[in-house]
Structure 1
């Protein structure tokens, strides 16, 4: 059976709890998980097949659209989004990269020249076939889902490109976690990626939807679509949008829980998208970098002081003190991108 429980819910809905085995990724994918992955494969095969956002071989933005207008996201903003992601990946100086969910190759085209080897996987045949035909040096592309980074198919590709038995220095999952069915699948993928990466390497989860910002995101969308609507109407629409939201979102704490007790030492750093434009890709999303071992290669020293946010001026003074050798953690910083504070984020750069 695929359903463990089904109970009536408000609004004439039916709340269904699937059998755990039906949606599990291990030891073998359950039937509902297979259906979920095939659904996304069909979606992206169609999206990539249209080529509607294909500006160049290395800039295919098919599927990247504004949630309010439905129009393609500005090309210059997407270029900056890509550049920041590439910088994040290369920050740890990897020689080899495995990207799960490589899509149209926005990262592959920009990474391969800086690497000794790159392997990309995707569930969409169209993406894999097109990138394989591009003939990028020191690359390989295969059809595989995110939980299959250690599958025979992917291992054959990494053996051929990275070297027999070689592990990648960095495993990248950028802008794919929103397509995952649940946190259990996320856990299976994260642990699989951590097992696959080389000692001292990194796993990067990029462009993650933050669960604490989902309500704010939908509220901003509804206000942009209908600025004159009463607050109670907006609130009702937001509740409906959240109830129908099929994409996964999670906070950094979810990943911290996943890696707790992992058999290899892992440290996590949370990153905001540092971009000029304030759009939905910067306001409501973030990146996580998982390091096998501490980033410095040794044991991280605990901070000597926790400082609550009280404005940019005090933060600047505290940062100067920290620069002199006193570790510091500042908490409670308002998110200026989503209007939590009248202060501009640019004030911190002054």
Structure 2
């Protein structure tokens, strides 16, 4: 998990951000490592308890002058300045969105908050096309002596009952095509460990015109 956190932080800091917005700040793992080195760090979360705790921690760390915390859902962007942020972060929260329509609504709104040349950094996206492979490994561990038919049934049931959002990279390419002028950077997750985080999740960076030119894939 330390390697996971360090990679997530580096995935943001590599762009040398100055004004950051994080949607779904949670326990503040990224905020704690990034806020001290930027001019402004805005963060939202739907939990008032989370925001209250973070406000105390931010004040204790002497960062209250540059950190702004708001209690609101990811698709509620009211009160956030348009065209201000060079980096918007959604790290390990997309899987908790109810559906891709919600994700699309969030991205559409966030795009308006980005300054020219800014980017949206999405971390820990669960890959839909590998879900069955992932569940096969999980069910083999849970039922090591199961015959193939029983194992297949357990896998199919697990896939059917999956509650977290899974999205393939092509979805972001299609969103970018609809939005227009978006450079899509899809990355495998860093790490040498052989686990779900490195094998079945990926990162996406969506660039607003000004920092990267889209490359044709044909």
Q: TM-score w.r.t. structure 2 length?
A: 0.92
- The structure whose Rg is larger is 1
> Is structure 2 residue 129 aligned with structure 1 residue 206?
no
1:144 to 64, 72, 75: 72
2:86 to 169, 189, 210: 169
1:278 is paired with a residue whose SS is coil
Q: After superposition, where does 1:16-55 map in structure 2 within 5 Å?
A: none
Aligned length: 213
Q: Distance in 2 between matches of 1:166 and 1:189?
A: 15
1:272 to 188, 191, 205: 188
User: How far off is 1:246 after superposition?
Assistant: 1.3
- Asked if 2 retains the 8 angstrom alpha-carbon contact of 1:122 and 1:143, the reply is yes
Q: After superposition, where does 1:302-313 map in structure 2 within 5 Å?
A: 302=216
2:33 to 107, 110, 127: 110
Q: Distance in 1 between matches of 2:211 and 2:86?
A: 13
2:156 is paired with a residue whose SS is helix
CA deviation string 1:221-241 (max 9, x = no partner)? 011112221121111011111
Name the counterpart of 2:171: 254
2:29 is paired with a residue whose SS is coil
Name the counterpart of 1:130: 53
Q: Which one scores higher on RCO, CA 8 angstroms, separation ≥ 6?
A: 2
User: How far off is 1:166 after superposition?
Assistant: 6.1
> Is structure 2 residue 218 aligned with structure 1 residue 290?
no
> Is structure 2 residue 157 aligned with structure 1 residue 240?
yes
Name the counterpart of 1:182: 99
Which ranges of 4 or more aligned residues in structure 1 deviate by more than 4 Å?
300-303
Closer, same or farther: CA 102–301 of 1 in aligned 2, 3 Å: closer
Name the counterpart of 1:94: 17
Q: Distance in 2 between matches of 1:294 and 1:276?
A: 33
Q: TM-score w.r.t. structure 1 length?
A: 0.58
Q: Which 5+ residue runs of structure 2 have no aligned equivalent?
A: none
Closer, same or farther: CA 203–219 of 1 in aligned 2, 3 Å: same
User: How far off is 1:261 after superposition?
Assistant: 3.0
